Amino acid sequence: MWSPETSMTPFSLEEGATTIMLRSLPASTTLRSLLQILQPLGRGVYDFAYLPRCTRQRHRIVELAFLNFVDPNVAQAAVRFLHNFSLSEASWARTRLNQARLQGLPNNLAYYYLRFGPDAAQEGPDAPAVFAAGVRVPLRWALAQLVSAQALEAAQRLLDSERTGRVEANIEMLEMGGQEGQGGQGGPPGPEAPSTQSWWSSAAAARWRWTLPSITTPDMYFVEHWVVEDTEHLLRLVHEHERRHGLVIFLL
């Protein structure tokens, strides 16, 4: 495993911080290549990795990445490691590291969910990768299990502040005779946040989990705790799982 004592850090994370943002990554960066770079840090040291893609050209990343580490000390070690890597790798010469505005796995998942709505649970090349003990877990399960109302509220506050900043910047640009800007400020997890989502309101935070009640795999269902108290819904899940797979294994 890489030793953090062998390098100097470009900056120190705030106490308790675990989420970092990388800016100006090489355009060729993929999730796979980024995680390969992190291998010297050891297995199971991060639980969230996300490379936002351009909303207009889906084949392109926006040269940002967000990484959450399982421990503040590991996060600081990762900052040192990535800083040294950027100094030794020519393609990373422009890359900069910052502490992310949102901290922690739940808050970053909540931000992603609020930005992209119910479709956020879809797995795909645009989706964040979530890990538990070094093993990738289904995004839908992570959203249902890890995102709290408090995380949603924190993410919503950041979205609101980003939108306010964009509106003010656009007004200033128009007053100066320029054109209205379309880019965002680069807050996690992506710089091109859409306009206010009509499907979301603060009142929805308390009941949001109803959109993600369970997740099925060929082997098992992951079921939210409230489903256990809803016998009718639980039986429907049993019948559906049995129809699909011929057996029923539940983790409650």
| Three-state secondary structure call for residue 182 | coil
The average confidence (pLDDT) of the chain is: 73
> Between residues 174 and 165, which one has the greater pLDDT?
165
pLDDT in tens, 99-145: 999 999 999 999 998 887 766 667 777 789 999 988 899 988 898 88
Q: What is the 3-state secondary structure (H, E, C) of 90-107?
A: HHHCCCEEEECCCCCHHH
Is residue 61 within 8 Å of residue 52, measured between CB atoms? yes
Residue 250 vs residues 96, 215, 217: alpha-carbon distances, Å: 45, 11, 11
Task: Report how far Cα 213 is from the mean position of its chain's Cα atoms.
Answer: 20
The per-residue pLDDT for 243 is 65
Report yes or no: 129 and 49 within 8 Å, Cβ to Cβ. yes
175 close to 122: Cβ distance less than 8 angstroms: no
* Domains defined along the chain, listed by start: 4-149 (3.30.70.330), 213-252 (no CATH)
